[in-house]
């Protein structure tokens, strides 16, 4: 039992790691490319690398963080233009070949001794050279923080059975939520009713006020020792307001949905998911620095950006613009015959998805170094696996897919390390074995469940 719990613990650590969030952001971008528009971009890691270089190099030249991030975006924008101009008029295969080539060119160039002054050559740029501005934005204070503060150790002195019970509750909640969601899916149709504009404005106003209050209160509570600068306040305000917006709109939607039987099911599923998250952290509490280079601060920001990205993608793809993307994915010539500028649409999609890619890259390097080889082809392939696992052309599929992908790999590695004797598989072989399983998993996934976890099976009946 102990082994199982420690394996699960390691799995969870990976699931909430900042790098997982970073890749999730890049996968969200890839979803815009591949899932919605059908662009075969096999160079997403190149976008990540460029975003990371753009930000990190700017910061080493004392450019403020905000502008450094913007520079990262601009670099990826230019990269999209360079990739798109020659290829977007051509057949899809060419984009695939050009993107993968271009990503490799970026990687080779980054490693080049000639650019060592900027990119640090094959060693890369060390985190300590660019992490400062980001860390100093933190309003979480110093010291360490355990999530949840109330956890299994507080019940019956942390006896084993408490943890086992937590695990059972967790599994129960997840199974329940999945069953509910499945029954919803087969029912089809929308659950949400449109919201009146007065309600909407009222909710936004409340969220702003609550956000402002929290901005003042939380840093004080967190016992922040350094002087809080204005940017830190702004960041805190944005984060708190967004969270409040999500809570209020979510609550309102739940309240409205409660009136129908189907809506009640959906709300119940949501509650179960929340409960599952609590159960996870109750059973496997995690302790990190509040701020630090690898603490809660970077985790919080990373996952916050993931949430924000999902919201943006949702707003984008439910609009007529999103419809254009799907139209291009289905048939470019048909879209041309309807007077749509296919090239421009594809270019826009490439740029937007690429920006998410570079944002992912920036988050990816927050805890480590900007090292060219860490964002190579295999990372792109992982991104595809994660995307297909979660379900292409869905909103949450990329996030779910990435979390499952990374945790499953750790699960496989740890489990085979723990249960397979060294004579059969050495420690380093378990690492490789986990990747083999990932590769084979990708194949099986595409063959047997091409729509992924959240995808729509109905959509896939028509091969184009």
Partner 1 sequence: MLLAPLALLMGAPPANAVVLCLAQADQTGCVTGTVGNRANPVEGVDVSLLDADGVEVDSLTTEADGKFSFQVTEAGDYFVSVGELPDGLEVRPPAERFQGPDGSIMVTVALGGSVSPDLNVRSVDFDAGGDSFGDQIIQSIAQGLRLGLLLALASVGLSLIYGTTGLSNFAHAEQVTLGGMVAYGLCNVAGINLWVGIVLTTLICGFSGFLQDFVMWKPLRKRGLGLTQMMIVTIGLSLAAQYAFQFFVGASQQKVVVRNFDVVELGPIRLTGMSFVAMGVALVAIGIVGYVLLYTRVGQATRAVSDNPALAAASGIDVDKIIRMVWVVAAGLAGLGGVFYALVVSNGIRWDTGMQILLLLFAAVTLGGLGTAFGAFVGAIIIGLVVELAGPLGAPGDLKYAVALVILIVLLMVRPQGLLGRAARVG
Partner 2 sequence: MSETTVGMADPAVRRQLMADVAQEPGSAKPDSILSVDNITRRFGGITAVDVNHLEVQRGMITALIGPNGAGKTTFFNLITGFDKPSSAGKGAHWSFDGATLDKTGASAVAKSGMVRTFQLTKALSRMTVMDNMLLGAKDQRGESLMRCMFRPIWSGQEREVEEKAAGLLERFKLLEKKDDYAGSLSGGQRKLLEMARALMSDPKMIMLDEPMAGVNPALTQSLLGHIQALRDEGTTVLFVEHDMHVVQHISDWVVVMAEGQIVAEGPADTVMANPAVIDAYLGAHHDTDLGDDDLLDEGADLGPLSETAADEEGSPPPESHDEGKHA
Residues in Cβ contact with 58 at an 8 Å cutoff, skipping those fewer than 6 apart:
67, 68, 71, 72
Shortest approach of partner 2 to residue 415 CB, angstroms? Answer: 38
Per CB under 8 A, the list member of 443, 456, 457, 459 interacting with partner 1 is: 443
Q: Binders of partner 2 among 305-324, rule CB under 8 A? A: 312, 315-316, 319-324
Q: Which two tokens stand for residue 162?
A: 């408490």
Give the whole-angstrom CA distance, residue 389 versus residue 395. Answer: 13
Nearest-CA neighbor of 12 among 459, 434, 364, 414? 414
Is residue 206 a contact point for partner 1 (CB under 8 A)? no
Per CB under 8 A, the segment of 122-130, 164-172, 263-271, 355-363 that binds partner 1 is: 122-130
Interface positions, 328-357, toward partner 1 (CB under 8 A): 333
Task: Using DSSP, state whether 204 is helix, strand or coil.
Answer: helix
| Other Cβ atoms closer than 10 A to 133 | 16
Does 450 sit near partner 1 (CB under 8 A)?
Answer: yes
Cβ proximity to partner 2: between 90 and 156 the closer is 90
DSSP 371-438: -GGGGSHHHHHHHHHHHHHH-TT-SSHHHHHHHHHHHHHHHHHHHHHHHS-TTTS-HHHHHHHHHHHH
- Examine residue 241 and tell whether it contacts partner 2 (CB under 8 A): no
Residue 289, interface with partner 1 (CB under 8 A)?
no
Query: Residue 3: which of partner 2, partner 1, none does it interact with, CB under 5 to 8 A by kind?
Result: none
Phi, psi of 442 (to 5 degrees): -60, -45
With CB under 5 to 8 Å by kind, the binding choice for 348 among partner 2, partner 1, none is partner 2
Out of 1, 66, 81, 85, the residue judged to bind partner 1 by CB under 8 A: 85
Residue 202 contacts partner 2 per CB under 8 A: no
Q: What angle in degrees, to the nearest 10, is found between the helix axes of 44-60 and 18-30? A: 120
Touching partner 2, residues 74-113 (CB under 8 A):
none
- Alpha-carbon span 129 to 146, nearest angstrom: 28
Closest approach of partner 2 to the CB of residue 392, in Å: 11
Binding partner of 323, given partner 1, partner 2, none, CB within 5-8 angstroms per partner class: partner 2
**Of the candidates 183, 179, 241, the residue with the CA atom closest to the CA atom of residue 212:** 241
String of contacts with partner 2 for each residue 326-355, x by CB under 8 A: xx-xxx-xxxxxxxxxx-----x---x---
Told to check if 439 binds partner 1 by CB under 8 A, we report: yes
Q: Which residues touch 318 (CB under 8 Å, ≥6 apart)?
A: none
Asked whether 15 and 406 are in contact (CB, 8 A), the reply is: yes
457 binds partner 2 per the rule CB under 8 A: no
Beta strands in 210-355 (DSSP E): 286-289
> Per-residue string for binding with partner 1, 234-273, x by CB under 8 A?
----------------------------------------
Torsion region of 391: left, alpha or beta (phi above 0 gives left; psi -120 to 50 gives alpha): left
Q: Phi-psi region for residue 39, left (φ > 0), alpha (ψ -120 to 50) or beta?
A: beta
Q: Is 97 in the site for partner 1 (CB under 8 A)?
A: yes
Does residue 3 touch partner 2 according to CB under 8 A? Answer: no
Written as six digits, the tokens of 16 are: 């909430």
Q: 261 is in the binding site of which of partner 1, partner 2, none (Cβ under 5 to 8 A by kind)?
A: none
Relative to beta strand 286-289, strand 144-147 is antiparallel
Strand partners, 286: 147
Is 109 a binding residue for partner 1 by CB under 8 A? The answer is yes
Residue number, 418 or 460, with CB nearest to partner 2 = 460
- For partner 1, the closer of residues 102 and 399 by Cβ is 102
CA angle 166, 168, 171 (to 5 degrees): 110
Distances (CA, A) of 88 to 40, 76, 138, 342, 445: 11, 16, 41, 9, 28
Q: List interacting residues with partner 2 (CB under 8 A).
A: 197, 312, 315-316, 319-324, 326-327, 329-331, 333-342, 348, 352, 458-462, 464
Q: List interacting residues with partner 1 (CB under 8 A).
A: 10, 13, 38, 40, 85-87, 89-94, 96-98, 100-102, 104-105, 108-109, 111-114, 116, 120-123, 126, 128, 333, 368, 377-378, 381, 384-385, 388, 426-429, 431-433, 435-436, 438-443, 445-447, 450, 463-464
């Amino acid at each position: 039992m102990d082994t199982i719990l420690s394996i699960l613990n390691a799995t969870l650590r990976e699931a909430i790691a900042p790098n997982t969030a970073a890749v999730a952001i890049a996968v969200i971008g890839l979803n815009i490319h591949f899932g919605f528009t059908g662009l075969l971009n096999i160079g997403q890691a190149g976008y990540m690398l460029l975003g990371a270089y753009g930000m990190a190099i700017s910061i080493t030249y004392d450019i403020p963080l905000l502008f450094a991030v913007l520079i990262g975006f601009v670099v990826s924008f230019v990269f999209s233009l360079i990739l798109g101009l020659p290829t977007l008029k051509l057949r899809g295969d060419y984009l695939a070949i050009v993107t993968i080539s271009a990503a490799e060119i970026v990687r080779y160039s980054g490693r080049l001794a000639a650019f060592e002054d900027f990119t640090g050559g094959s060693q890369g740029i060390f985190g300590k050279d660019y992490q400062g501005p980001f860390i100093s934005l933190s309003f979480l204070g110093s010291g360490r923080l355990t999530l949840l503060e109330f956890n299994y150790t507080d019940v019956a002195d942390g006896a084993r059975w408490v943890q086992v019970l937590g695990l059972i509750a967790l599994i129960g909640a997840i199974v329940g939520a999945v069953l509910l969601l499945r029954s919803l899916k087969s029912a089809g149709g929308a659950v949400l009713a449109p919201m009146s504009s007065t309600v909407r404005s009222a909710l936004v106003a409340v969220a702003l006020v609550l956000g402002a209050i929290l901005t003042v209160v939380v840093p004080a509570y967190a016992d922040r020792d350094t002087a809080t600068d204005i940017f830190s306040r702004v960041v805190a305000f944005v984060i708190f307001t967004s969270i409040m917006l999500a809570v209020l709109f979510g609550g309102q939607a739940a309240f409205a949905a409660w009136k129908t039987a189907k809506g009640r099911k959906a709300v119940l599923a949501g509650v179960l998911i929340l409960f599952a998250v609590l159960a996870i952290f109750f059973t496997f509490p995690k302790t990190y620095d509040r701020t630090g280079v690898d603490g809660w601060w970077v985790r919080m920001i990373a996952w916050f950006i993931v949430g924000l990205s999902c919201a943006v993608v949702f707003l984008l793809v439910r609009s007529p613009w999103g419809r254009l993307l799907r139209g291009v994915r289905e048939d470019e010539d048909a879209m041309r015959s309807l007077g749509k500028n296919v090239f421009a649409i594809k270019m826009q999609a490439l740029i937007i998805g690429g920006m998410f890619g570079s944002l992912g890259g920036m988050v990816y390097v927050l805890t480590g170094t900007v090292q060219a080889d860490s964002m190579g082809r295999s990372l792109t392939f992982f991104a595809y696996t994660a995307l297909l696992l979660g379900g292409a052309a869905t909103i949450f599929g990329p996030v779910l897919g990435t979390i499952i992908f990374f945790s499953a790999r750790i699960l496989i590695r740890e489990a085979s390390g723990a249960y397979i004797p060294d004579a059969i598989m050495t420690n380093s072989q378990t690492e490789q074995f986990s990747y083999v399983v990932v590769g084979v998993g990708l194949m099986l996934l595409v063959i047997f469940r091409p729509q992924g976890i959240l995808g729509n099976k109905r959509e896939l009946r028509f091969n184009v």
